[in-house]
Structure 1
Amino acid sequence: MLTPDTIRALTSWLVTAADPSSFAAPGTPAVPPSAAAPPDSIAASYSSGGITDIDDVEPPYTLLVLHDGDAVDAPPGTRCLATVAVAIHPVIVGSYRRGLIDLLPDLAAALAPSGHGAALRPNGLSALVRRRAAEALTGVFTPPQAGMRLLACAIAYDDVHTGTGTGTGPSTGTGGSEPILMVRRIDAVDVDGRVYQAVRLPGAHATVLVDDEPDPLDTPATYAGLAALLAAAVAHTTATPATGG
């Protein structure tokens, strides 16, 4: 069970991470330099399918994996968050009829340990792409340092937002509908099953909604895929401990 302090730290991290510049500025406290320029990407895993290089397009989709553990060179009992960010090429997401909703479960199936019976849809990942995706994700979900624990899995993306019911969108002054805005969203699921939804409107700080007891009928569309990916990561790291071999 995560402590209240850990939940608050995760929520605070989401506020910062919802700013796209977090992943373009090495040294940002919430995103270590290694996360700002990750060595792997889901795009690289799909290179055999003719996908263009990840540098050719500004990737609007980012898979985020969080671990926490004792901070190095800090007083005993001090803990820190460590983040790895992995770009997902928009062409990959666009190849799925429902985008992220269909892609995330396929990534979970690719990561599932052999023999667990995880099945991909007939038009999902090929065997080669599945293997390459599993290799990339294995590194992403491996704790960055000994003693760290997997904390949460998240997906950051751009989305169309009308501002309806948020009270944070600018008023049109006409008493009519809210303007349509492009916003940054991060959906996250932690190891206790909580759901986090961060939304950052243009020119504003992100707001974060934390749901301790998520209703399956009232969760982000990415929830099922994120939960499956997090569960697969836990099973995968348990089945393949770091033994150095």
Structure 2
Amino acid sequence: MLSSSAVHTLVCCLIAADADAETLRWGQPATLLLIHDRRVHTAGSIREVRSVEFPLHRDDLLTEPAGLPALLHRLAAGLDNPTASTPYLATLTTIIGLIRATEPDARLVAWAACYDDILTIDGQPRQGRRIDAVDTDGRVYQLTHVRGEDQPLLLVDTGDVPATYPGLAALLAVTARHTHPGPGEGAA
């Protein structure tokens, strides 16, 4: 179970991801983020949350956000098949291996999807960016940043579940099985 400070740190990570999206062009098309934490000081209990872009194949890059939920389910199904050797499974294995090699006590915290969307505000269509995330406790995070606005709005567990939720939860479940540590290892 994530502590309240871990949830707060994850919120800060999502806000930072929104700021990074401007310079890194995340969300154009959809960008997936694998979010993990690590201990900042070996003797302390302070943890830092970091996100890693999970690259999508050019053929899977979406131009319409409506296709994102299906892509998340297809990706989770592909990662859940241990007998199939897929590029995504190789990518996940590589990312987890690199995280474990540099941060042995890292833990999986969440999956997030960053994507551009058309929002309806006061009955008018507006362009914006969304970052939807699901953490290991099943908590839902929804960040909305309307173009032209200085600050994003971030909601946590409001009961309003985005269409990306089932796919992100499926990715989280599959990834948790791949990141389960062996004897003497930390979890990515």
Specify the TM-score bucket, using the shorter chain as the normaliser: 0.7 to 0.9
Rounded Cα–Cα distance in structure 1 between residues aligned with 2:63 and 2:22: 27
1:68-147 equivalences under 5 Å are 68-72=37-41, 76-88=44-56, 91-94=59-62, 98-114=66-82, 131-142=86-97, 144=99, 145-147=103-105
Residue 114 of structure 1: how far off its partner (Å): 2.7
> Counterpart of 1:173?
none
Tell me, yes or no, if the aligned pair for 2:30 and 2:65 is still in contact at 8 Å.
no
Please give the TM-score of this superposition, normalised by the length of structure 2. Answer: 0.81
Query: Whose Rg is larger?
Result: 1
Residue 193 of structure 1: how far off its partner (Å): 0.3
Where does structure 1 lack aligned partners over 5 or more consecutive residues? 25-35, 37-57, 116-126, 165-176
1:214-229 equivalences under 5 Å are 214=159, 218-229=160-171
> Counterpart of 2:133?
188
Where does structure 2 lack aligned partners over 5 or more consecutive residues? none
Which structure's residues are more often helix, by fraction?
2
Which structure's residues are more often strand, by fraction?
2
Tell me, yes or no, if the aligned pair for 1:199 and 1:206 is still in contact at 8 Å.
yes
Tell me, yes or no, if the aligned pair for 1:65 and 1:84 is still in contact at 8 Å.
yes
Deviates more, 1:88-97 or 1:197-206: 88-97
Tell me, yes or no, if the aligned pair for 1:64 and 1:85 is still in contact at 8 Å.
yes
Aligned AA (1:205): Q
Please give the TM-score of this superposition, normalised by the length of structure 1. Answer: 0.64
Alpha carbons of 1:81 and 1:23: their partners in 2 closer, same or farther (altered >3 Å)? farther
> Which stretches of structure 1, 4 residues or longer, exceed 6 Å deviation after superposition?
239-243
Rounded Cα–Cα distance in structure 2 between residues aligned with 1:239 and 1:102: 29
Residue 202 of structure 1: how far off its partner (Å): 1.5
Match of 1:199 among 122, 125, 144: 144
> What is the RMSD of the two structures over their aligned residues, measured on CA atoms?
3.1
3-state DSSP of counterpart to 1:147:
coil
